[in-house]
Every structure is written in structure tokens, then in C-alpha cells.
């Protein structure tokens, strides 16, 4: 069968984010490589050419492409959501209300709500039930312009259920059109009954779960929640180092609720990312700037928890750290899957510019997942993962906030969501 081909023509702006493949730091973070009156030509699942629309016309005719008129719209890479906890049962609307009545996230967790509550429901749920709920969310991710989604386990907290969640991710990956990137996050919370023998849980992860996860090829990354009320530096070092020995690349929930030295550990282990960073100090900013660890900021969780302490986005960017953005989609701290809203929060609350936020949510996020050779920018040879936004200037995406500007989502060269009838 001949490869199908699409010609996106005459976009007001094409945000190419083209470059030399490096993660973007400092001023480069705001370089979007804009082509006005631009076009993109795809062939099969890849991008064939990007440039001024007129310069692509002849080849488009030769290839007998289907044409998509993009006048008055912005064409850009699909969002890469590099931090989510997509697979869980039920939700936590009741915790939400308890917080509004004055209880803190930690108090709710200690009273049996929080992660433990979701873990109880997730243990009881069947694989089919978990697939169904997550699949419905993934359709929403696609409709809002996200084309690659990292997915953490972490609501199992025992070997059997953590593996069940990772199998659910594998099934979802086969049946949805989005690319999913699985991460083992068994060190998310201590399961009940282990309070006096924390070491036993860690040992089980190191000796059983990590080897089985790697052996069944169920994840490429290993994560841990290093914080007060979660796990210590020593415990996380043991888990991440074991992951690394089995070929799982570390990432860390770092300095979210308190400062614990998580960033130092992430840098020491060469983690792919350190995420959250609300309590990062000046030395941590330096450490990240001097490393290749991607600083993943999650402004949805700051917004939803009403945090007073925000991650030092400006200082990280100015010092030269690689900054990315993600939703942290999860039932407790960020039940939001719209990356466009994350751009609004990144600009209004973290003081990033719209251009920085776009780059952090696409190319740098792809680096956080070690997928920047495939996604995150519009360049020949990369996957044809692109979105068409109903705005004629990219700055309007965060500016007209809390609405969905995504008119069309293309994944691997196929239209998977469209507001227009084609």
C-alpha cells in the first residue's frame, strides 16, 4: 500500500522548534523557529518536509497528498506530557473537599485518604476497568493536543498490583494511538503494615518487582517519591540504583513538599529528570544547571494544592537548567490533563514567557523522556505528531486561558482528533 501523505498548507505560524537536537537552555528555550505562511508535508508516519507553504506545493502535488488548509491557525508539535499518573481507579473529589475545609494534603494522607485510598481502589479494580477509565482520559489528552504521554504506576504498592498497572499501560499503548512511556513508581507510598519494616518493602522492590518489571519489559524508567511522609534518600538510592542495574533509567519526585536532597541524588545517579522542585534552593538550581537532568515543573499541582512555595522556574532557566513542563495528571494533586492550561500556569504563575513554555512542553519534555530523536519538534524524519491550534499567534494559547484551542491532532501521520468535519 502506498504511504499516505498530508499537506498542511498556509498556517499563520508553524512552530518548528528545529535545532541541533540538544535540549534547550537559557535563551534558546524561547527559540521557536517560526515559519510564517508555513507548511508541513508528511509521508507515512513521518515528517517529510517543513518550510514556507509555497515551497512545498510542487512536491505535494507530485505525492497526491490530502491537503489541509491551515489559514489563520498555528501548527506546532504535539505536546509531550512527560509526567502523569494516568492509571488509577475512582477519584478523590472527597479529598478535594476536605482540603477546602482546611485539612492539608499530608493530614488527609495520614487519615487514610490520599495515595492509600486510591491504591485500595486500584487493587480491587480489574485490568479491564483500569483500561476503560484510562482510555477515556487518553481520548481527552488527544483532544487537547497531547501526542506522547509518560505513565507512572504507583497506586499498587505491592508486586502484584504494580505489575497489573504496568500491564494496563501496555494494553493501553496497543489500543490507543498515542505513544505511552511507562515508568515504575512503586516507591510512591509505604503500603499499610510496613510502617515498622520499611526495609522489607524496599527489599521486595529491589529483589522482586524491579527484576520482574525489567524482565517483562514493562517499563523503561524507575521513579520514586522522595519526600517527608514518603521515602528517604537512602531508600530511594537503593530503588533507583537497582532500577539502573536492570536498565531502568531513574527519575525522581524531588523537593515537592519539603527539601530533602532529592535533586542531589538525581544528579548523582544521572536521572533523566527531577520533577516538582518547589523547595529547590540556590545550590540545587546550580546542580541542575550543571547537569543533563531535566527539571520538570508541574504547575497544575501547585495550582490545585494552592502552594505558596513555587518552583524557581526563572532562576532555573536563567542559570541554564533544562526546564520542561508536564501536567502531573493524578487524582490527588493535579486532576488536569490539558497542557494548554499548563502553559497558562507556567506563564502567569512561574513567570515563563509563552515561547519558553511551548518549548518546555514539547522539545524539552521529549528530552525528559529520551525521545527527542523522535518527537518534540517539526523536522524531517521525526514522527508526524502535530497539532493545529485555532489561534493565529502562539501567544494566544496561554492567553485565552482555560479553553481548548486544539482543532486537530495528528499522531504518526494520522488525524486522530478533529473539530472540523473533513
**In 13-158, which residue ranges form alpha helices assigned H by DSSP?**
53-63, 93-100, 105-110, 114-124, 127-143
Q: Considering the rule CB under 6 A, would residue 125 count as an interface residue with ligand NIG?
A: no
Q: Considering the rule CB under 6 A, would residue 118 count as an interface residue with ligand NIG?
A: yes
- Among residues 119, 128, 110, the alpha carbon closest in space to that of 89 is found at 119
Q: Which residues sit opposite 35 in a β-bridge?
A: 14
Contact (CB, 8 A) for 343 and 146: no
Q: Which residues sit opposite 187 in a β-bridge?
A: 224
Q: Beta strand pairing status for 179-187 and 146-152?
A: parallel
Rounded CA separation 272/295 (Å): 9
Q: How far is the CB of 2 from Fe ion (least distance, A)?
A: 43
Q: How far is the CB of 36 from ligand NIG (least distance, A)?
A: 39
Closest to Fe ion by CB, 227 or 328: 328
Q: How far is the CB of 338 from ligand NIG (least distance, A)?
A: 17
Q: Identify what 114 binds: ligand NIG, Fe ion, none; CB under 5 to 8 Å per kind.
A: ligand NIG
Site string for ligand NIG, 305-344 (x = CB under 6 A): -----------------------x-xxxx-----------
Rounded CA separation 297/281 (Å): 15
Give the three cell numbers for residue 133.
Answer: 477509565
Q: How far is the CB of 44 from Fe ion (least distance, A)?
A: 35
Rounded CA separation 404/146 (Å): 12
323 sits in which H/E element: strand 323-325
Contact (CB, 8 A) for 231 and 201: no
Give the three cell numbers for residue 309.
Answer: 512555595
Q: How far is the CB of 189 from ligand NIG (least distance, A)?
A: 8
Q: How far is the CB of 168 from ligand NIG (least distance, A)?
A: 16
Q: Identify what 182 binds: ligand NIG, Fe ion, none; CB under 5 to 8 Å per kind.
A: none
- Among residues 201, 255, 208, the alpha carbon closest in space to that of 227 is found at 255
Q: Identify what 147 binds: ligand NIG, Fe ion, none; CB under 5 to 8 Å per kind.
A: none
Give the three cell numbers for residue 19.
Answer: 535545532
Q: Identify what 342 binds: Fe ion, ligand NIG, none; CB under 5 to 8 Å per kind.
A: none
Q: Identify what 32 binds: ligand NIG, Fe ion, none; CB under 5 to 8 Å per kind.
A: none
- Among residues 97, 276, 92, the alpha carbon closest in space to that of 284 is found at 276
Rounded CA separation 214/420 (Å): 43
Site string for ligand NIG, 226-265 (x = CB under 6 A): ---------------------------x--x---------
Q: Considering the rule CB under 6 A, would residue 115 count as an interface residue with ligand NIG?
A: yes
Q: Considering the rule CB under 6 A, would residue 153 count as an interface residue with ligand NIG?
A: no
Rounded CA separation 247/252 (Å): 16
Q: How far is the CB of 202 from ligand NIG (least distance, A)?
A: 17
Site string for Fe ion, 36-75 (x = CB under 5 A): ----------------------------------------
Q: Which residues sit opposite 66 in a β-bridge?
A: 6
Q: Considering the rule CB under 6 A, would residue 300 count as an interface residue with ligand NIG?
A: no
Site string for Fe ion, 304-333 (x = CB under 5 A): ------------------------x-----
Q: How far is the CB of 151 from Fe ion (least distance, A)?
A: 11
Contact (CB, 8 A) for 253 and 262: yes
Rounded CA separation 183/355 (Å): 29
Question: Which residues are near Fe ion by CB under 5 A?
Answer: 328
Binding site for ligand NIG (CB under 6 A): 85, 114-115, 118, 225, 253, 256, 301, 328, 330-333
Amino acid at each position: 500500500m502506498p504511504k499516505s501523505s498530508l499537506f498542511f498548507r498556509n498556517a499563520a505560524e508553524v512552530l518548528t522548534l528545529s535545532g541541533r537536537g540538544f535540549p534547550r537552555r537559557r535563551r534558546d528555550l524561547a527559540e521557536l523557529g517560526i515559519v510564517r505562511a508555513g507548511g508541513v508535508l508528511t509521508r507515512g508516519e513521518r515528517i517529510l518536509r517543513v518550510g514556507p507553504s509555497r515551497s512545498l506545493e510542487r512536491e505535494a502535488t507530485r505525492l497526491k497528498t490530502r491537503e489541509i488548509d491551515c489559514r489563520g491557525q498555528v501548527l506546532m508539535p504535539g505536546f509531550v506530557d512527560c509526567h502523569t499518573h494516568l492509571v488509577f481507579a475512582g477519584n478523590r473529589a472527597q479529598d478535594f473537599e476536605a482540603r477546602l475545609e482546611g485539612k492539608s494534603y499530608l493530614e488527609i494522607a495520614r487519615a487514610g485518604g490520599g495515595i492509600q485510598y486510591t491504591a485500595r481502589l486500584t487493587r480491587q479494580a480489574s485490568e479491564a476497568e483500569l483500561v476503560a477509565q484510562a482510555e477515556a482520559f487518553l481520548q481527552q489528552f488527544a483532544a487537547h493536543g497531547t501526542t506522547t504521554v509518560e505513565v507512572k504506576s504507583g497506586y499498587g504498592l505491592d508486586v502484584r498490583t504494580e505489575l497489573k498497572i504496568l500491564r494496563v499501560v501496555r494494553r493501553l499503548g496497543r489500543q490507543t494511538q498515542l505513544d505511552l512511556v511507562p515508568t515504575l513508581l512503586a516507591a510512591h507510598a509505604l503500603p499499610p503494615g510496613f510502617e515498622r519494616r520499611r526495609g522489607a518493602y524496599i527489599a521486595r522492590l529491589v529483589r522482586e518487582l524491579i527484576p520482574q518489571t525489567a524482565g517483562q519489559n514493562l517499563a523503561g524508567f524507575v521513579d520514586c517519591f522522595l519526600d517527608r511522609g514518603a521515602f528517604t534518600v537512602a531508600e530511594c538510592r537503593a530503588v533507583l540504583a537497582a532500577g539502573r542495574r536492570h536498565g531502568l533509567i531513574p527519575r525522581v519526585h524531588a523537593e515537592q513538599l519539603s527539601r530533602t536532597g532529592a535533586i542531589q541524588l538525581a544528579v548523582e545517579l544521572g536521572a533523566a529528570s527531577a520533577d516538582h522542585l518547589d523547595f529547590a534552593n540556590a545550590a540545587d538550581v546550580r546542580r541542575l544547571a550543571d547537569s543533563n537532568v531535566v527539571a520538570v515543573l508541574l504547575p497544575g499541582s501547585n495550582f490545585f494544592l494552592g502552594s505558596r512555595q513555587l518552583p524557581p522556574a526563572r532562576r532555573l532557566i536563567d542559570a541554564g537548567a533544562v526546564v520542561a513542563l508536564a501536567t502531573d495528571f493524578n487524582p490527588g494533586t493535579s486532576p488536569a490533563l490539558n497542557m494548554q492550561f499548563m502553559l497558562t500556569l507556567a506563564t502567569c504563575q512561574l513567570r515563563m514567557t509563552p515561547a519558553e513554555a511551548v518549548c518546555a512542553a514539547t522539545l524539552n519534555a521529549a528530552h525528559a523522556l529520551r525521545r527527542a530523536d523522535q518527537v518534540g519538534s517539526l523536522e524531517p524524519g521525526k514522527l508526524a505528531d502535530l497539532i493545529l491550534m485555532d489561534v493565529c499567534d502562539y501567544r494566544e494559547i496561554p492567553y485565552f486561558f482555560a479553553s481548548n484551542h486544539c482543532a486537530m491532532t495528528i499522531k504518526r501521520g494520522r488525524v486522530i482528533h478533529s473539530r472540523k468535519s473533513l
